[in-house]
Amino acid sequence: MPSGRKRTRKDKSSDATGASRQRTDGADGGGGAAAAATATKGGADADEAEGPSSSTPLLGLLTRCFTEVDGYRIAREVRAKQRRAGVFLEGITYGEVDIGDFARVLQTVGPARGETFVDVGSGTGKAVLCAAACHPLRLARGIEILPELHAAASEALGVARAEKTAGGATLGAALADGGTEVELHCGDAFAQDEPWTAWAATADVVFATTTCFTDELHAKFGAAVAEMRVGSRLIVTTQALTSDAFVLLGEGRLRCAKGSLAYFAYRKVREGGGGAAAAAAAAASAD
Ligand SMILES: C[S@@+](CC[C@H](N)C(=O)[O-])C[C@H]1O[C@@H](n2cnc3c(N)ncnc32)[C@H](O)[C@@H]1O
């Protein structure tokens, strides 16, 4: 758990893959992107920390890039295949953000020009592409362990890069010419000696749907966030942090493609912060 987690509200489970700890309340889920799909990426001379404004339908366009991508179906099929092979994995539960609502929540942590965003467990890449499309980041990166979801994310990125608006401005321009590099990695976010291994120490904004993390994943995640730099920001779901290395910037509900999750947004204000989670990670690795 990230620095000792506490469940702050009893959410009702509605996860498509049926695993144990994906929790959503289902009340306001799905279809919300259009209403919130009004973000734009700042131009080359835009101010620092600019974010989604109400001036372009960029997020509507981005949402449409995912029309043919059904992450829930992919995850369900992968899980069924694993079960047939006698594999029962915890913590590989699927759910994905509503792009428009994620843009709103991301503003809470004010991604600034030249910063790096990472989604730890990025699924079909909605949060990554949303961050890249809305903010003049240097790098937006996703790390996803399931090859099938990673492949779907790569496909969506390709579609997004080719997509045009009626007015000629391109989503592709926002994603590429806008200066943001998008990296989609396939593998375990907590693996050593991978190109993404230092994600925590190098990111300015970290997002993780920690809702479905197992205790082991929480411990690894807690150890990783202890490496985050002072001034970097972190958004997690369902369980709030208890570490005093982070201050709360905002909390509320994050709409997902199905249902919604509690979210907590933080800024790191001092070094470390692994606390109990780092100790748990050490204990887990000693087992
Ligand atoms: C709840 S989904 C979130 C997807 C995406 N972040 C979003 O909100 O749209 C969590 C994802 O984390 C992935 N995952 C779980 N453990 C992981 C690990 N150790 N490394 C990388 N990805 C992982 C799962 O396969 C799943 O796609």
In a domain, 210, yes or no: yes
pLDDT of residue 219: 94
Give the contacts of 68 (CB within 8 A, at least 6 positions apart).
Answer: 159
Range of the domain at 225: 15-40+51-286
Pocket around ligand 1: residues whose beta carbon is below 6 Å from it? 91-97, 119, 121-123, 126-127, 143-146, 149, 188-190, 209, 212
Alpha carbon nearest to ligand 1 atom 7, residue: 96
In a domain, 5, yes or no: no
In a domain, 229, yes or no: yes
In a domain, 151, yes or no: yes
Q: Which among 144, 146, 220, 261 is the best mutation to test ligand 1's pocket, defined by most ligand atoms within 8 Å of the CB?
A: 144
pLDDT of residue 231: 98
CATH of residue 32: 3.40.50.150
- Please report, as a single letter, which amino acid is at residue 160: A
Alpha helices in 16-121 (DSSP H): 33-36, 58-64, 71-84, 99-107
Q: How many CB atoms lie within 10 A of CB 13?
A: 16
In a domain, 172, yes or no: yes
Please provide residue 182's backbone torsions phi and psi, each rounded to the nearest 5 degrees: -110, 125
In a domain, 213, yes or no: yes
pLDDT of residue 61: 85
In a domain, 8, yes or no: no
Percent helix, strand, coil in the chain, to 5, is: 35, 20, 50
Quote the crossing angle between the two packed helices 215-225 and 275-286, to the nearest 10°: 120
Q: How far is the CA of 125 from the centre of ligand 1 (A)?
A: 10
CA 114, CA 106: separation in Å to the nearest integer? Answer: 16
Q: How many CB atoms lie within 10 A of CB 163?
A: 18
pLDDT of residue 58: 80
Q: Which among 73, 82, 89, 92 is the best mutation to test ligand 1's pocket, defined by most ligand atoms within 8 Å of the CB?
A: 92
pLDDT of residue 84: 87
pLDDT of residue 168: 57
pLDDT, tens digit, 9 for 90 and up, residues 155-213? 999 888 887 664 555 677 667 555 789 999 999 999 999 999 999 999 999 999 999 89
pLDDT of residue 211: 93
Domains: count for the chain: 1
Alpha carbon nearest to ligand 1 atom 25, residue: 92
26 exposure class (CB count in 10 Å sphere: 0-12, 13-18, 19+): middle
In a domain, 9, yes or no: no
CA distances from 239 to 1, 178, 187, 254, 257 (A): 8, 34, 24, 13, 20
| Residues of the chain under the 50 pLDDT cut | 1-40, 42-55, 166, 275-287
